[in-house]
Chain A
């Protein structure tokens, strides 16, 4: 027992969730504060390392990784592809979709009316949105997906406002690190 929050921290991170500095959840915020203390972080890092989890620090967020990989490549690739699709969708909705951005499902539904690009992309996201009939149901499904992966979080239930968490930086990092060779890059139409 390193701190009285050890098990709470473990429980959140073990599920593949992030502990973000800008989470609307007060409990998570508290855990972030605990982890922010460098000494506690070091101790917890050591502690979790013993049980095969590596406590990692990202840009304003914490997460777990493993010493060894126990997920097959296909699954990872599929997950990454999913993220690319969904990110592309949200960036089409609003280019400033980034850490701290706030939106509600109805914002996206409204955009659909005058953004044909967004509409086509929604159609193509059937894999994520399932066979839901109405657009707003589909969008909800997509939002749920991103929420489940802990990159956004519901901030206000009444107005249905979601907030982009700092863990979004993780997604951005992955996208940024992927290297497209120059000769390929030149072949991609604008």
Chain B
């Protein structure tokens, strides 16, 4: 694999492509970086990208570019933004220290002993920092997982795994403290070194802080897990109740009736209907009441239209008794009168006083009526006379 020849070359290369690398690093989570976008950041000199690919700083994947894992990890580690909590690293360090302590104790050459001691000091210093960072990372990861992980089961699993990591870190801290306080007493007695003393005190301080943080983290995880569990349980319960309800057996199979019947919350009641009568004094004196009355009265104004229209008075004239008399011709009476005379019928009717004006034509009609009604009592002769242009038979009573 083609790689950089020395640090200087590496740093210079990174420095030259600072723009591209920092951009790719900041976008490492959100998007896949396209070759085209990258070209813009290297002033369209493809050779510069090719060089980076050659030196395995970035990798090409079809049209996309990504930072090489090794570099990515390095940047994350150095910038304290690592998502991964690498616990094996701490474990390794403890082992290394133990080994080096043995070497130190075995070594008689002052020079080499010093080299071992230097390594031990460096590792101790690192351990404090790494442990502290793991704790900080863990806390952030827990928060993130709880808030952002949408998959329910995964959320729970991830939190449980983080909890396991927490136990591991706690164990590592204990191991480290055990190493310092009990296991390697001889070493600490022999290696009388002021700097080592300071480092150990610093380390103990850091580990103490970590322990406190871990206790807090443990509480947090338990709380989160409980919340998830409760939510899950709640959902399960709800689904079961829904199933029972949909199958119409909820009342028979659960104690819902009993539970609900003990509930006297107002929320179950229908919304109260305000039917309070207004105070008369209020209506009389308050300006608002007056306004309200006026407003409501307006609504009633239109109703006048619906009032039935009244007829005018009936005049008294209509109410007076009015008698109208009509004189009727009584044929029966007329016949009786006629029978008592010896006149002929036509002449008799013509001269009869009817108590009212009776015209000639009418008299003729009456003449005909009497003949047709009382024919049997009359004697109709064959001789005729003419009056007013009307020819009539002579009729006498029998």
Hey, which bits of chain A sit against chain B, CB under 8 A?
A: 13-18, 53-54, 56, 63-71, 73, 75-77, 79-81, 84-85, 87-88, 91, 95-96, 98, 149-150, 172, 174-181, 184-185, 188-189
Contact = CB atoms under 8 A, between A and B. Distances in A.
Contacts of B254: 178-181, 184
B264 A88 contact: no
A167 to B, nearest CB: 9
B272 interface: yes
A149 B255 CA distance: 23
Contacts of B243: 188-189
Contact of A177 (B235, B253, B259): B259
A17 B243 CA distance: 29
Contact of A180 (B241, B260, B269): B241
List of 5 A-B pairs having minimum Cβ-Cβ separation, nearest first = A16-B267, A64-B266, A66-B264, A16-B266, A88-B242
B253 A184 contact: yes
A84 B260 contact: no
Contacts of A175: 234, 237-238, 241
Interface of B: 152, 231, 234-235, 237-245, 250-251, 253-257, 259-261, 263-269, 271-272
The SS class assigned to the A binding surface is mixed
B207 to A, nearest CB: 37
A71 B269 contact: yes
B294 to A, nearest CB: 27
Contacts of B264: 54, 65-69
Contacts, number: 109
A87 B267 CA distance: 17
A185 B240 contact: yes
Nearest to B246: A124
Contacts of B253: 180-181, 184
Contacts of B257: 73, 77
B397 to A, nearest CB: 97
A180 B271 contact: no
Nearest to B242: A88
A66 B257 CA distance: 18
Nearest to B237: A175
B254 to A, nearest CB: 5
B237 A66 contact: no
B377 to A, nearest CB: 92
Contacts of B242: 84-85, 88
